[in-house]
Each structure stands twice: as C-alpha cells, then as structure tokens.
Amino acid sequence: MAINVILNLLAALAVLAFLYRQQRRHASFSVRVFSGLGLGIVLGAGLQAVYGAGAPVLAATGEYLDIVGSGYVKLLQMVIMPLIMVSIISAVLKLKNARSLGKISALTIGTLMLTTLVAAGIGILMAKLFGLTAVGLTASAAEVARGTYLQGSVATAKAISLPGMLLSFIPANPFLDLTGGRKTSTIAVVIFSLFIGVAATGIHAKQPAVFASFEQFVKVAHAIVMRIVTLVLRLTPYGVFALMAQVVSSSSYADILKLISFVLASYSALALMFGVHLALIAGAGLNPLRYLKKILPVLSFAFTSRTSAGSIPLSVQTQTQRLGTPEGIANFAASFGSTIGQNGCAGIYPAMLAVMIAPTVGVDPFTLAFIGPLLAIVTIGSVGVAGVGGGATFAALIVLSALDLPVALAGLLISIEPLIDMGRTALNVSGSITAGTLTSRALGETDMAVFNADAELSVDSEGDASRAA
C-alpha cells in the first residue's frame, strides 16, 4: 500500500508543480483556481476508479493531501479575526459618522435576512416539486442517526433561543472571541471592533494628537494584515486542488444514487437562488454576467472548502478589488454573512428538511398554517449559525425543534452531507457578496470604474499587482 500512496502523491505533486508553473507564467488568478478545481476532480475520480470507494490507500493519500487542503484553510482562518478587526476599525475611523454606520449595518443584515426568507421559500417549492418525504424511513435508521450523528447536538439546539443567540453576540471576553472560540465569535469581534472605532472617533476633537497616533497605528496594522492576506491567497489554487481531490476520491457514489432525488432537489434550489442573487444585482443596475465572472473564484473556493468563515478574506478582496465595494462595507457583508442569513445552510436546507419530515408525524407541510411559522422560524433562526462545516445541521436542528418535529431523522442524510454542503456554502458566500454589493450600490459608494474593469485579484508579486489591477 505504501508504494501506491507514494505513486498517488507523486501524481499530486506533479499537479502542484503545474499550478506553480502557471503562477510563474503569470496566468490569471481565475485560470489558476479553475485549473486547480478541474485537476482536483480528475485526480479524485481517477483515484476512486483505480482503488474503489473506501479503500485504505485513499484514506492514507487523503491524509497527505489534507496537509495542503486543510493547511490552506487554517491559514485563512489565521487571518480572519485580524482582518475583520483592523478593517472594521479602519472603516469606522474613515466614516466618523454613526448614521452611516447604522445604514450599512441595517442594509447588510436586512438583505441577508430577506434573501434567507426567499431561499427558504425556494426550498419548500423544490421539496414539493420533487416529492421529497421522509415517510418510510425506519425507526432503527432514526436511532442510528441519533446515536452516530446527532447525539448531544439535539440538546444544544433546544437550549438555544433567539434571545440567547442574540446575547451570545456580545463579546464578554473579546480575547476569547479573537481566537474564534465560540460559534458567534465573528460577530462578537465585529461588535468589539465597532466599540474601538467609535471610542477612537470620540476623542478626535478633544485629543487630536492621540487620535492621530491611533489612526496611524491602525493604518500600519491594516497594511500589514492585508499583505498577509495577499500572501495566503496566493495559495488558493493549491488548496482548491487538494480539497477537491479529497472530496471526489472519498465520495460514495452509491449513497448519492440512493438519495439522488434529494441531491437534485437541493441543487435545483441552490441554482434557483443563485438566479435570485443575479436578478437582485441586475435590479441594482449592475451587469450580472460581469458580476458572476468576478465572483466565481470565491465561489469555487467556498464550494471546495465548505467554510463560509474561511472565505471571508477572499470575499473581501474580491468585493474591494473587483466589484468596487468600499472596504468597510465589504468587511461588514463578509463578516455578518458568515454567521447571519446564510441562504444555503440556514435557508434552503432547514426548510426542505422540515417539509420532508413533517408527514412522518401526520402534518401536511403544504398548508399556510405550517409554511407561515416555518418561514418565520427559518429566517429568525438563521441568526448566529456557524460559518463552518456542520452549520446547516445546527440550523436544521433549531428549526425542527421549534416545530416539534423528530430531529433524529436529519441524520439520515449524513452520507451525502459533504456533497450538498459544497453547494450550500457557495450560496452562503454568494449571498454575503450580494448583500455587500447591494448595500454599496444603495449608498452610492460603488466604484463603477473598478466594477467595469477587467481586473484580477492582486495576489501575485508586487510587479504583477499593477498589471492585475
């Protein structure tokens, strides 16, 4: 087996060398990302075709690929909190206006919540069109799900109410939140950073020398953090390749075929919601095709990594450098969107699951008496869902518990969870970028020269940055 693992790793190294060669030849960032995505699919499918699903050699190979894939995600997670903190503080110092800050927050969060409501409605519609139902699932299967997947999570979901969730946003220990130690740490860091920024602007008139020193410190910190982000983002094609190869090589095609109706319904709902995002962009007077082309690399990373929070740095860079959104708005949208109003994980998925499970307890899911409360609970429950793997399950547990439906049945979809979660995460990130773009457009802050330019992300060497811009 060791020889086979070595051969597999040599093939992976050859792909990584090809991607590095593309970078040296100054291939565009988008081309390199999609090259990594495509080659990851090819390698993953090839490995499974040669060794078969679940083979020990695939697991051993995956452990080494994980160094590149998960290593890249961890590097992104490393810069998330510093990026949010310095960017939000910098944005507040530039605004010097609490009313502008309030407008940005209200428009961003309002857009996220509204699109989640629409996403839930689309999830219900697709469940109806595809005839999805959990009726016929055995009690033993439900017990297996309860024991292997949902044990402990059910109690957690029931224990969290909306007031409790809102309370968890308050950074009682900001240093803990800077480590990402809680599910709501991202929002808590945003709030803490807002306090710092507002406090700093409060001494602008009384202590101008102190304010000037602090403002200069923030500028320096911001420049350094953005440079770190740039260095990490250069690794995106390699990370996307490794992540995709792992997902494809470890996927169970038999399980996918068994649940093909749910897979098709889920991706139909996701595609339709992507269409809603583009329609909103078009309604704001922007070219939706140009917009889609510019955000595709971000969506590709979100698709392969399955982490909304990990996509924040790339999302911010894309919004500012390619869409013309001011940095403050871009950071608000990316930060809030990783926890609040996730269209895929907290919108479509819980709604579809609730409609599927309701008939098992004799409830007709397609009545106003059921759909009305479901939409309200999904929308409100979308506040505070973690932007990492498992967030969709957590959101589903909250909704099912609130509707008094059997939560254990949610675990029966665990075998295809990674496949569905890829599309859901991409939609989550698309929703946050849409919220940022619409907010920027509504406030008249969008730099149309940047939006209309054929710009690439400035993630290469300094010499290439000017060419990319």
The per-type count for the chain, helices as H runs and strands as E runs, is 22, 0
Angle subtended at Cα 427 by Cα 425 and Cα 429, rounded to the nearest 5 degrees: 75
DSSP state of 136: T
Q: Give the tokens for residue 18.
A: 């090809």
Query: CB count, 10 Å around CB of 44?
Result: 25
Query: Which residues lie below 8 Å from residue 322, measured CB to CB, with a gap of 6+?
Result: 294, 295, 450, 451, 455, 456, 457
Q: Determine the Cα–Cα distance for residues 44 and 51; give it in Å rounded to an integer.
A: 11
Residue 263's H or E segment, with its range, is helix 260-283
Each of the 469 residues of the chain gets a pLDDT tens digit; together they read 789 999 999 999 999 999 999 999 988 888 898 999 999 999 999 999 898 877 899 989 999 999 999 999 899 888 888 988 998 888 888 776 666 778 888 999 999 999 999 999 999 999 999 988 876 554 444 444 444 444 444 444 444 555 777 788 889 999 998 888 887 788 888 889 989 988 998 888 889 999 999 999 999 998 999 899 889 989 999 999 999 998 888 877 776 777 788 889 999 999 999 999 999 999 999 999 999 999 999 999 999 888 888 888 999 999 999 999 998 899 889 988 887 888 998 899 999 999 999 998 888 999 999 999 999 989 887 876 654 455 677 788 778 888 888 876 666 676 677 788 899 999 999 999 999 999 999 999 999 999 999 866 666 654 443 333 3
End-to-end CA distance of the chain: 48
Task: Decide if 69 contacts 246 (C-beta within 8 A).
Answer: yes
Task: Decide if 358 contacts 364 (C-beta within 8 A).
Answer: yes
Angle between helices 260-283 and 349-357 in degrees, nearest 10: 140
DSSP state of 130: T
Q: Determine the Cα–Cα distance for residues 275 and 122; give it in Å rounded to an integer.
A: 11
Q: Determine the Cα–Cα distance for residues 84 and 191; give it in Å rounded to an integer.
A: 10
